[in-house]
Amino acid sequence: MNSNPFDLAGKVAIVTGANTGIGQGIALALAEAGADIAAVGRSAAAETVEKVRAQGRKAEIISADLSSIEPVERIIDETREKLGSVEILVNNAGIIRRNDAVDFSEDDWDAVMDTNLKSLFFLCQAAGREMIAAYEADGRIGKIINIASMLTFQGGIRVPSYTASKSGVGGLTKLLANEWAAKGVCVNAIAPGYIATNNTAALQADESRNRQIMDRIPAGRWGDPSDLGGAAVFLASTASDYVQGHILAVDGGWLAR
């Protein structure tokens, strides 16, 4: 029997938005811990898959646009067909639109809410059904990790639909934990701080905002996608079997300031 509670060997993880940034960082960390990866996204995650396979793990690309729930069932089916099972789901795919609240459009509201919250819920639902059935059949515990945000806790500015969606992710994470904890599914979330990715390129390039952000982070630097790896492995592993409905901030101390 394996005595390492963080070992993910034999597990299959779906990671949405796995082609770059946070999604890629988490996919690589899970693979390093032993998981096989279904890399889901609009853009083919060829680089991620190549790096996962270089670690000796299986990896498959599943092309899906999560701006609607149309591909949700197919993602689960394809993962099962190509990799055999679904033990871990990481809901990382997300978009952001910026504008003053007084000028924010309905299109920008709907686009963000559809991807960040609606598709996330229905992917949780589809994976949850699979995981509950597996637990009833053979006692396997499933793990769902939603990617929340600092704006799950704070208001932010100029991103009303993003703030609303990420606040919703926090609430859904707790609700699903309440419903599924006794059914063999652990549902938790990671709230990244300011991570250097494509999504935050505009903030990094804005000298004034970049300085304001850096001045508030106790760690004194922007996070790297790899900084989220340990938290993801923990929440995906048996080490966290009694952790439910928790939102784990990985933020360099931002929220403590």
Q: Which residues are part of the catalytic machinery?
A: 162
SS (H, E, C) the chain: CCCCCCCCCCCEEEEECCCCHHHHHHHHHHHHCCCEEEEEECCCCHHHHHHHHHCCCCEEEEECCCCCCCCHHHHHHHHHHHHCCCCEEEECCCCCCCCCHHHCCHHHHHHHHHHHHHHHHHHHHHHHHHHHHHHHHHCCCEEEEEECCHHHCCCCCCCHHHHHHHHHHHHHHHHHHHHHHHHCEEEEEEEECCECCHHHHHHHHCHHHHHHHHHHCCCCCCECHHHHHHHHHHHHCHHHCCCCCCEEEECCCHHHC
